[in-house]
Amino acid sequence: MTTLLVKNIDHLATFDNARRELKDGALLVRDNVIEAVGTTAELAHLTADRVLDLAGHLVMPGLVNTHHHMYQNLTRVMVQDDELFVWLTTLYPIWAELDDEAVYVSARVAMAELIQSGCTTSSDHLYIQPNNVRLDSTITAAQELGLRFHAARGAMSRGQSQGGLPPDNCVEKEEDILRDAERLIHAHHDARRHAMSRIVLAPCSPFSVTPGLMKEAAQLARTHTGVHLHAHLAEDLDEETYCRQVYGMRPVEFAASVDWLGPDVWFAHAIFLDSAEIRQFAETGTGMVHCPSANMRCGQGIAKIREMRDAGVTCGLGVDGSASNDTSNLFLEARLAQMLQRIAPSRYLSEAPGGRGGFGGSPKALSAREALEMATRGGAKLLGRDDIGHLAPGMSADFIAIRLNQLGLSGTQRDPLAAMIMCGPFKVDFSYINGREIIRRGEFCEHDVEASLAAHARIMKRIYEQ
């Protein structure tokens, strides 16, 4: 057993149930768990094996990224000006060249990028598994980097010859997908508190799998504790058209028809939901992850975060794949969520007498603290976790520290927490995950970033040459 006392924290934003923010805060960590939270004076009587003085820093829970496709960092800045379906059909043949090494190396790079920008937990939705690709390699990468990881066994099974969008050489047989999903659960799923590895079942989208696979994935997940379900839904109007034509239903109706509404399900995007569907999400406990960069990049639309939060829908944040983002910074997504919701045509505007011309919204639509709550507590809830997302006794020791004495944070002393996104994003100066120090004074303690980047560049060259 080892103990760590973190003290003299300028601003400690706990995001606990009372949303306490402490000046001159302190934390006591025993191994991988937080044992005490308070002011430095309150914790002064405690002794520890190690002391970390974070005077001049803000400390908050590590961010929880709940939607990503890490392998896509091999195909950034491609297809810059086309809609989702063109974007996908251009990229599918390139992704068909992925192999297991490419998936492993791209995951290492993506995870390092996430950790450096504040994430301590991430999910990754690997929905294309050609050649010898196995999800296990991303789990190995997470173990090496020290990231808390929910690996989503993605899948596509409905190729063009079956009326789906992806080419046939990008899809798998449904029986193989389900067999592999079960293998992964037994090999890597840890349902206990403070788990570093969990498995998620994640057929890609209504236009790339069959209803049968959705149903069987839900049944398989529900025979295991803590195995959640994840997919894209209501991401694009072309998807809605597809669902109407192929299934005769709207996307949420389709989800309900395959038993995909519930507290163990979270969907990426959920942009095109009407008010009844939003209530349906709230009543069933179905969650959603908002990915503003990708939605803006592909010109899709603005998710109704204000209405969803007011209705009680669990909302988290995700960076989405590196080919539709093309950065992977969750603080930036929190900033964009705040800004985008404010410019969204809102009820405030539509109810204004006489109306106003053009687009417009409300500065009350989403606060900085709400956006940061989506990135912490919201993400934790989507993943089904009661041990991460805020700092309190008994929670996992996942926290980040940002140095306040820097140019971009000058003049923010009155509210350094809001400044994290209103003035940011910033890189973290310290990152602790499960009690392990991953970043110290802005540098990775163990990970060789240069070596990962060199391997990544070599693999990218090979994929494009093929």
Give the binding site for Zn ion (CB under 5 A): 268, 320
* Cα 261 → chain centroid: 19
Beta bridge partners of 150: 123, 198
* Residue (217 or 268) nearer to Zn ion, CB: 268
* Enclosing H/E stretch for 348: helix 347-350
Q: How far is the CB of 280 from Zn ion (least distance, A)?
A: 22
Is the C-alpha dihedral spanning 65, 66, 71, 74 positive or negative? Answer: negative
Beta strands (DSSP E) in 130-236 are: 148-155, 197-203, 228-233
* Residue (10 or 320) nearer to Zn ion, CB: 320
Q: How far is the CB of 370 from Zn ion (least distance, A)?
A: 23
Q: How far is the CB of 232 from Zn ion (least distance, A)?
A: 5
Q: How far is the CB of 194 from Zn ion (least distance, A)?
A: 28
* Residue (69 or 309) nearer to Zn ion, CB: 69
Q: How far is the CB of 328 from Zn ion (least distance, A)?
A: 12
Cα–Cα distance measured from residue 46 to residue 374, given in angstroms and rounded to the nearest whole number: 33
* Residue (57 or 230) nearer to Zn ion, CB: 230
Q: What are phi and psi of 239, to 5 degrees?
A: -65, -40
Q: How far is the CB of 327 from Zn ion (least distance, A)?
A: 15
The half-sphere exposure of 463 on its side-chain side, counting CA atoms within 13 A, is: 28
Angle (nearest 5°) at CA 154 between 219 and 447: 130
* Residue (268 or 332) nearer to Zn ion, CB: 268
Q: Supply the DSSP string of 421-455, one letter for each residue.
A: HHT-----SEEEETTEEEEETTEESS--HHHHHHH
Q: How far is the CB of 236 from Zn ion (least distance, A)?
A: 11
Cα–Cα distance measured from residue 114 to residue 239, given in angstroms and rounded to the nearest whole number: 29
Name the residue number minimizing CB distance to Zn ion.
Answer: 320
* Residue (194 or 269) nearer to Zn ion, CB: 269
* Residue (123 or 434) nearer to Zn ion, CB: 123
Q: Is 265 helix (H, G, I), strand (E, B) or coil?
A: strand
Amino acid at 25: G
Q: How many C-beta atoms lie closer than 10 Å to residue 178's C-beta?
A: 19
